[in-house]
Amino acid sequence: MERQWHKFSKAWLDASWDIDHGQAPSAVGCGSTQAEAQDRVFNEGLFSTGAVAKNWWWWTWYNAARSLRGPELALPDTLRAARFGAPDFSTARLTALAEQYGVAAYGESLQLPPSAAGVRFGGAAGPTMSIDHRGVREVEFADPEEGDGLSLDEVVRIGQQAVESFGLAADVDLIVDKVRDQYHAGASRDESVAPRVRETHVVFTQVVDGLPVVTPGLGEVRVGVDGTGRVTAIADATLPVADVSTSPLAPPEPGTYRGASASTVDELLDAPVQRLLRRLSAGGRVPTEVRTVDGSTAVGWDARGGAGSLVARRVVEVDCGAGLAKRFVVQTPVG
C-alpha cells in the first residue's frame, strides 16, 4: 500500500499549529469499538465513502502552547535583514539526513525528484522521514506509548538531549521556548474515558542575531516525548542563515506607521489594530471588545519567503457580539 505523508488527524493538528501556537485544535474518529475509533482517529490516511459505526467516539487534541520563557518585547535600535538558504533536496543532503536519524535509505528512495509536496523515505520498519516543500524535516521514530507520566523538567531534559545527540543546534542557535501536550479521550453511550496525555512536544525556537523567529511553524525544532520517556518524533523547521545585514534606523518620517512616539511594541501595534477594527466595522461586524491573547505579543523575525525582516506580532481576539469571537494576527514591520 502507498505510504501516506501524514495521517489526517496529525495533518489537521499541525496545520493549526502553523497558524497560531495559541490554538487548541482537535480531531475525532468513531467506530464500532473503542479500538476501532482509536485506530481511525490516529491512523486514518485515506479517504473512504463508506459509513462507519458510531458506538464509540475518540478525540485527540493539542493544548495551547505553554511558554517556558518571557517574550521578546524590546524594539531594536538597528534595522536588520536576514537572508535564509533555500531547501536542499540534493541526494547528498538527503543521504546525510538519513544517516543523521538512522532512516533506511535503500533502493531508489533517494534518487526520486521532489514532488510539489516534498519527499518522503524510509523502510517498512524503523524511522521514516518527510521533507516538505519548505524544507521542514519530520522524523517519526515510533508511535507514542503511555507510561507513568513525566514531570515538565524531565520532558524538557529529554528534549534537550535529543537536540544535542542529533546535532540540531550545530549550525543554528536554539532556545527552549514552549511545550504543548497532545491529549486523547473517548466515550460511548454508556462509558467514558478521561483525558490523558498521549505525547508532549518540547519546542525550541531559532534565534538569529539575538532575536527569535516569530513565524509559527518555521524557525523551530519540536521534539515529541511519550509517557515512557522515549523520543517518538522530531520536526526540524530551522532555516539556514545565509546572511544578516545591519544598519542604523533612519529617523521616522512624519505620518509613517512608526512615529516618534512609538517607543514600545504596544504603541507600534496600536495603528494596525485600529485599522483591523475599522475594517471589521465597515464590513458590518462592529466589535464590542478586543483583547490581546496572552503571550502572543513578540518582536522577531518574519521568516516567510526566504527573506527575514523584523516585525512586531500579536494575536487579538475580537468580540463582535451575538456569541461571535474571532482571532486575528496583527503584524507590522519594525524600523
Q: Is 183 in the same domain as 41?
A: yes
pTM exceeds 0.75, yes or no: yes
Q: How far is CA 95 from CA 23, 100, 126, 167, in A?
A: 36, 9, 16, 16
Look at the chain and count its residues: 335
- β-pair partners for 326: 318
pLDDT band at 29 (very low <50, low <70, confident <90, very high): very high
Q: Is 58 in the same domain as 153?
A: yes
Q: How far apart are CA 202 and CA 2, in angstroms?
A: 31
* 14: amino acid identity, one letter: D
CA proximity to 28, closest of 19, 37, 17: 37
Residue 92 lies in a domain: no
pLDDT, tens digit, 9 for 90 and up, residues 137-169: 999 999 999 888 799 999 999 999 999 999 999
Query: Which of 185, 214, 243 marks a domain boundary?
Result: 243
* pLDDT the model gives residue 221: 97
Q: Is 140 in the same domain as 282?
A: no
Q: Is 51 in the same domain as 164?
A: yes
* Residue 214 clears pLDDT 90, i.e. is over it: yes
Q: How far apart are CA 293 and CA 316, in angstroms?
A: 6
In this structure, of 72-81, 120-129, 230-239, the range with the lowest mean pLDDT score is: 120-129
Q: Which domain holds residue 255?
A: 250-333
In this structure, of 128-132, 190-194, 261-265, the range with the lowest mean pLDDT score is: 261-265
Q: Is 12 in the same domain as 45?
A: yes
Q: How many domains in the chain?
A: 2
Q: What are the grid coordinates assigned to 194, written together?
A: 478521561
pLDDT, tens digit, 9 for 90 and up, residues 228-272: 999 999 999 999 999 998 876 555 554 444 444 468 999 999 999
Is the CA virtual torsion 6, 30, 66, 233 positive or negative? negative
The DSSP output letter for 18 is T
* 139 CB-side CA count, 13 A: 23
Asked if 8 contacts 44 with a C-beta cutoff of 8 angstroms, the reply is yes
